[in-house]
Structure 1
Amino acid sequence: MDTRGQGSVSGTGGATPDPHGTGPSAPGFLTRGIHDPAEYYYRRVFTDAALAVDAVRSLDAVDAARVAVTGTSQGGGIALAAAGLVDGLVGAMPDVPFLCAFERAVGLTDHDPYGEIVRYLAVHHDAADTVFRTLSYFDAVNFARRASAPALVSVALMDPICPPSTVFAAANHHAVGAEVVEYAFNQHEGGKGAQWLRQVAWLAQRMPEASAAAMAG
């Protein structure tokens, strides 16, 4: 999924705009529209994620009953949100997910992107209750509580960007059950190729027919 408005932040670029305006915010995306859940930036992003699943399922080459979601960091948080919004997925595979347990994360790390919230509240001193109320609507922990498919979650125990306890919060509150893979000596890069292999094996257990066909091919 091309995350709206972020096409010039990383990767090879993207073309999806975010044409909605915002009130005062800190540089970045976490505080755009932060005073109203209806206007908050990630409301649009999470809606995009749910619609992306619908779009994939509409493709002739896709078995709509065998779709999983995955992502790393921000993508991991979005994957958790999608899994809480969309029924019938075979699984979710968030890696070192961002967007989990906002208030705890802000108290544990001064790294960005959570640092955007800190800088905003350092100026808007009386806005903390409003800010964290809005964020509660978009906390991936709450979407994990709504999930209807199992999850394979990775956590890096030396991660300074997404503190491990915030990732465990999402896994521990998962409605169906989450298997957690720990990388004890990794930071926010997580398990990289090793985790990709775990994902392949995990999906093969849930889609044996697809796995057998791929091996036969």
Structure 2
Amino acid sequence: MPLFDLPLDELRDYRSASAEPEDFDAFWSKTLQESREHDLDARFEPVDTGLTTVRTYDVTFAGFGGHPVKGWLTVPAGADAPLPLIVEYIGYGGGRGLPHEHLLWASTGRAHFVMDTRGQGSGWGGGGGTADPVGGAPAYPGFMTRGIDAPENYYYRRVFTDAVRAVEAARSHPLTDAARTVAIGGSQGGGITLAVGGLVPDLTAVAPDVPFLCDFPRATTLTDRHPYREIGLYLKTHRGRADEVRRTLSYFDGVHFAARGRAPALFSAALEDLTCPPSTVFAAFNAWAHEDKDIEVYEFNDHEGGGPYQEAAKARWLAGRL
């Protein structure tokens, strides 16, 4: 796929036209306050994985609405004191998978928590185990339009709340150091990382790779690739609801969370990425509020982005911050 978006020099200055709701902060403050009325009830059950270099815990905690959310916590086998904590979020359609799918970050001497994504985990990888017990209005198959009739009902309100609670759950374990906490993720996981970066004020760093859920006004009209295309197909049937949908999505746009980012950040973008177009990634990067930020650019890659090269870049970058 040849380059299809703005030239790189224009990307570095690009700003989103996404309109931030006046009650954005109030909406999220109320959402998190309501969630915290439920006991976090974080439980860590040791798992016999057969692996000798790490210890893994099967985690359950209360997310949005007190609903049970799963995760894995993996630490180096010999850990006996609090470790820097890396909280990871998963790409669209995936779940927490199996413990042996997540060995990189514990192998660097950190505690690693991976959150299951409610209702997902059936599209790729080793699967997931977290249901989404909330129903909703008619939606296009997928997750992008579930509850899109109103911000209060939207699917990602639940997911982003789960993600904040995941940080709180992971920090509650005695082998994690709450003062050294990093959020990471790619694609959908990158979009969730941006939300957490805007909602959790005391993170050490964030690293969103080719993040999804950014600059909805441009993304939904620039690419015809799923998952963004789900929104267009919904509106193709539900004619006349575009303004209502835009309003809902504005509460979940990574650009607005980025404007509240208070930690150093390492982004990545791929210039041939048709799933998360580079301009939408740069929209969030350029809005990121903390001055210590950088972005790795992969000129000839699609949505796979930097892949293992980006993992190596993150490891080097985090070494100076943890």
TM-score normalised per structure 2: 0.64
SS in structure 1 opposite 2:218?
A: helix
> Matches of 1:56 and 1:201 in 2, distance apart?
23
- Amino acid in the other structure paired with 1:145: A
SS in structure 2 opposite 1:66?
A: strand
For the pair 1:13 / 2:127, whether they are aligned, the reply is yes
* Corresponding residue to 2:192 among 65, 78, 101: 78
Aligned to 1:185: 300
Q: Map of 1:84-163 to 2, 5 A cutoff?
A: 84-163=198-277
For residues 165-184 of structure 1, what are the alpha-carbon distances to aligned partners after superposition, in whole Å with 9 as ceiling and x for unaligned?
A: 00000000001033111000
Higher strand share: 2
Aligned to 2:42: none
Structure possessing the higher radius of gyration over alpha carbons: 2
* Corresponding residue to 1:197 among 312, 317, 322: 312
Tell me how far 1:164 sits from its aligned partner. 0.3
How many aligned residue pairs are there?
207
Tell me how far 1:9 sits from its aligned partner. 2.0
* Corresponding residue to 2:321 among 190, 206, 217: 206
Runs of 4+ in 1 over 6 A off after TM superposition: none
- Amino acid in the other structure paired with 2:171: R
- Stretches of structure 2 that go unaligned for 5 or more consecutive residues are 1-114
- Amino acid in the other structure paired with 2:247: R
* Corresponding residue to 1:172 among 280, 286, 294: 286
- Amino acid in the other structure paired with 1:58: S
Tell me how far 1:154 sits from its aligned partner. 0.3
SS in structure 2 opposite 1:67?
A: strand
- Stretches of structure 1 that go unaligned for 5 or more consecutive residues are 208-217
> Matches of 1:165 and 1:87 in 2, distance apart?
26
- Amino acid in the other structure paired with 2:131: P
Tell me how far 1:10 sits from its aligned partner. 2.0
Higher helix share: 1
- Amino acid in the other structure paired with 1:206: R
> Matches of 1:51 and 1:32 in 2, distance apart?
21
Q: CA RMSD, aligned part only?
A: 0.7
> Matches of 1:80 and 1:202 in 2, distance apart?
18
For residues 147-202 of structure 1, what are the alpha-carbon distances to aligned partners after superposition, in whole Å with 9 as ceiling and x for unaligned?
A: 11121000000001100000000000001033111000110001011111110111
- Amino acid in the other structure paired with 1:188: H
> Matches of 1:11 and 1:17 in 2, distance apart?
17
Aligned to 2:90: none
TM-score normalised per structure 1: 0.94
- Amino acid in the other structure paired with 1:203: L
- Amino acid in the other structure paired with 1:27: P
Tell me how far 1:205 sits from its aligned partner. 1.2
> Matches of 2:227 and 2:144 in 1, distance apart?
7
